[in-house]
Structure 1
Amino acid sequence: MTPEHSPHAVLDELAGHPHGDDLARVVHTAAFAAADERRSTLESGLAELVDRAGLSVADAETRYGNAIRALERGTSEGAGSATRVLLATLLARGVALSPPEGVEAEGRVAEALVWLATYTSVDALTALDAALGERADGLWRAVAALVRRADQGALPQLGRAGAILAAAALRASPSPAARAEAVALVEEVRDPIVRSLLRDALSPGRRPSHAPDAALAEGRGAAGGDVWASGEPDRASARLSGELTPPPRGPVQLVLLAATGILFVLHLGRLAGRFLLRYRRPAALDVGPRGVTVRSRTELFGRVLRERETYIPVESLLRATREVRYPRLGLYAGLVALGLGTYVGVSLLVDGARAGSPELLGMGALVFAFGAALDFGLSHLGTASRGRCRVVLVPRKGPALALGGIERDAADLALARLPRP
């Protein structure tokens, strides 16, 4: 895209146009109506919209083409053409004139924009940053959420094509929020093309300017959201991706729940929900010098039931720690298995020797060998989950929050950004 055909240049043209904002509203209304009705053409009802806005075809003339004529031609516009850039910028400007408020509204707008970019010639994602500036951050987070849902097969209306196009938009955006989402998505999505597109956002010219961890700089860690070559490390933030888990319980509560059997029922219900109902609570934790933000959603059968965002300023944060749950559980279980195998195996060997029974001797040797093998396997079980931990946030007021399945190195890097008391 040449500078004279860029969204910034079109916005400059519209700023001096007597009907620039009116044209943006017309394009915005026509495009979102097409998205709601899942139409790949935009000219339906266009004449009524133009009349209602008090415009004529002559009023839509710009040096990039006529906006109304471009809407009538719709998908016949060639990729990269001046009128196509004009329509994309007008739609982005229309979003800026009526910006969405809240996570749900941002999600609806982002889904409409991705659908339009996939099935029509109007791709406003390329002009979001130019038209909205920092106000586009929420929309980029919503676009990333769409990529996650589409990767899980929860958005058939967008499909794989929509996920690929949304990933390409995240990769191309200069927004730090879009880059942070691209870093987080690299480890989350399964589609190889989407993952490849997102990895391109971590090319040498776009890596964080001060990421000390090599895996993080390559986009393989769970933390993201560094300052991208901005030279302002004080404003840096990091993102951790995991899943909400129950916060740690106190010793008295834990003993009571275990003694009454309620703890077992809770764990059994959680496992049943996870594997039978596909109950998930994915979450992202943004850690910065001023506080932490937890964005989470609740999913059932791959569908999003609720989205939630919690911000805890640093002065309201009592404690932020990372902990490894049961780090020696495998070792202790292996020792118990070895002890039982040794006791039972030696007893059978002694009884077999006294009775002269080859069957008892063989059974004793087998039990002893099984106990030793079980001890070896359980002792090395931790290597499968090595490096994973849980981050626990305890505010001064309100319930504690915990995110599990996070890499230890990434958690240490992120929590180090919080100021020490």
Structure 2
Amino acid sequence: MYEYQSLRKCISNNDNELIIYGADRFSQFPRRDASVNSKCDRALPIARHDDVVVLRGKLDQEYHKWLRSHGLGSDHIVEYNSPSKKMSLSELIVNDPEPVKIYIRQSGKKPVYVPWFSGRMETEAAKVLDADLYGATETATLKYNDKSVFKTVCKQLDIAVVEGSSFEMNPEDNENCTDMKNIINGYLSTCETVIIRGTLGEADMSLYKTKGNDISEIYHEIAVSGERFVIIEPFLNVSSSPNDQWVISREGNINSLGMRDQICERGMVHIGTLKGDDHSPEISNYIAKTSAKIVTNMAKFGYRGVVGIDYIVSDDGIFPVENNARFNGSSYVSMIVDNIEKLISPIPYWKFIKIKTAACSFLELTERIGPLLYDGKKSNSVFPFSCDTLPLSGDFAVILLAENMDEIFKMEGSLKEMGI
């Protein structure tokens, strides 16, 4: 029913349109601490030569030079050079659209603004640029991105979800913590562990497991974070966590981008994604059918853009647990892999992982991982991206491109030996 089409073609298949990427995550995270980075540079390797990439900060010239040497990316880069976390990229554009408009005028094409997450300011930025927005209204985005509301939507569609309770944090009420304890203890009477997760899913904030002995401490942490609503659920025995990605075009057409496996630390925190071996037909068919029902509902409501639905496969069944109604981290990976496949050959397996090394420049990183580094020829190689925090903290991401899983395991082992 739904055929695969590359995400780039779903965004636009019209050569008379100018794609403007704004991969800033700040619009999703009104509360920003050290764990929230803008990650604008993720769009650099996905851009075609005639696209525009807008950055909050400065362009890493060495990384850009490396990308261009392999036929990836564009030279149409807008740098706002803003170190502050107070303003999102869309707000910067609204305040000063001229740097982007220069490229629009030069191209003579109709602009299409492609943000990470669609909120009110993304609509404003598109208006200021006289561009189409590849995204949704803030109302549609929040309806599906909110975990509690998403569970309600699933129930309305007769889709089974993990049992659980939505809980409103009210620290001013002395009984509020006791109320939370009572709900958690109720679930602990039938299961070993309970998971508590914030409804907005902000960079893994408000994500906790408890066996009941630390509820007061957890309650205090959530209260301090300012989170207003959380979901309390039994923590199930999970064998895999598939992510099923779909995309709804500006015209409302629905396309499947395929399924991939999430890699989760402690069974909760997403640290990477694997694309390779298929799930059993039973699992794949159930997820595809369930996702189609959800995405059709979203399209009818007016949602446009990328959809990443997270599932868990557990002893108790297969359940959708989260709807990432925005670009997902692995959406960019898919687009990078698509670009590389056009240049070299099909890539049967890839693994995206968030990774860390000693803080260094991109040039130093290429020397550190030299023999593994993507060179446009090797079938098995490491492609670094999301490198904007590399010089500050050593945090970045890689895509392991491979012929099979054994090669992925080998490259992971080699990276560890290189201190990564």
TM over 0.5: no
Q: Relative contact order, CA 8 A, sep 6+: which one is greater?
A: 2
TM (norm. structure 2) is 0.24
Highest CA radius of gyration, 1 or 2?
Answer: 1
Structure holding more helix per residue:
1
TM (norm. structure 1) is 0.24
Structure holding more strand per residue:
2
